Amino acid sequence: MNQERPCRATGIIPAVRLSEEAARLRSLKVHPKDLALRIPLYVGPTGTVLHEGHPYSMPPEAISMPATLYLYADRVRIVAGRYEVNHPRKFVAHEGSTLAAHRAAMVAVVSGKRGKRYLKRQQLLELGEPAFRYLTEIVHRRPRQWYYDVDRLHDIWNRDCKSKFSVPTTSSVFFSVH
């Protein structure tokens, strides 16, 4: 801290000014861990909220609703109407957080057999490059039967890989075997 030179704006040395104002300073009533930035957003048509390139899932009933994202140091809380969801905060570029319950609910909301299959495939494709290569191979090798494999992989993913798994971990588990 500057102990010698006066500030140009106030004409007072900052160390002197700090000692004058020390009596008026008090500690925060809120613990710093509980401080959050409030960011107004909306839930997109895919049931996700996008913040700084990170998609966070929401229930399909919240689609197109205005939402508030509470950004904490280590977590994200999203409130859209009566829906409230907590996710771990993501820092790696384009990494997202999708809860297994939201994934299953989205499939249940989609109507028709074909729509459900394409949504399941899309959710698996969002796991990353290994998933993209694997599913592309399946679709091209078995153009009339790929959906059996997609249904099976999606069921395994929902059963075994809850939201605690990251995208690279999940991708390597499913798609490293040829």
Find tokens 């929401």 and name the residue: 58
The per-residue pLDDT for 167 is 46
Residues 129 and 164 both lie in one domain? yes
Residues 116 and 142 both lie in one domain? yes
Q: Could you tell me which residues come within 8 angstroms of residue 79 by beta carbon, excluding any fewer than 6 positions away? A: 67, 68, 70
SS (H, E, C) 36-79: CEEEEEECCCCCEEEECCEEEECCHHHCCCEEEEEECCCEEEEE
The per-residue pLDDT for 140 is 87
Residues 109 and 152 both lie in one domain? yes
Number of domain units in the chain: 2
**Which pLDDT tens digits describe the chain residue by residue (178 residues)?**
678 888 888 888 898 898 889 989 888 888 888 899 999 999 988 889 999 999 999 999 998 899 999 999 999 999 999 999 999 999 988 888 989 889 888 888 887 887 888 888 888 888 888 888 988 898 888 888 888 988 898 888 888 765 444 444 455 555 554 4
Q: Which SS3 state, helix, strand or coil, does residue 86 take?
A: strand
Domain that holds residue 169: 100-175
Cβ contact 171:128 at 8 Å: yes
**Residue 126 maps to a domain:** yes
The per-residue pLDDT for 123 is 84
**Residue 161 maps to a domain:** yes
Residues 40 and 84 both lie in one domain? yes
Element (H, E) at 174: helix 167-175
Residues 124 and 157 both lie in one domain? yes
The per-residue pLDDT for 157 is 84
Point out the domain boundary residue: 59, 88, 117: 88
Residues 121 and 75 both lie in one domain? no
CA distance 89 to 56: 9
Residues 109 and 133 both lie in one domain? yes
The per-residue pLDDT for 107 is 83
The per-residue pLDDT for 168 is 47
The per-residue pLDDT for 162 is 53
CA distance 147 to 149: 5
Residues 110 and 79 both lie in one domain? no
Residues 37 and 58 both lie in one domain? yes
Q: Which SS3 state, helix, strand or coil, does residue 148 take?
A: helix
Residues 83 and 105 both lie in one domain? no
Residues 131 and 74 both lie in one domain? no
The per-residue pLDDT for 127 is 81
**Residue 26 maps to a domain:** no
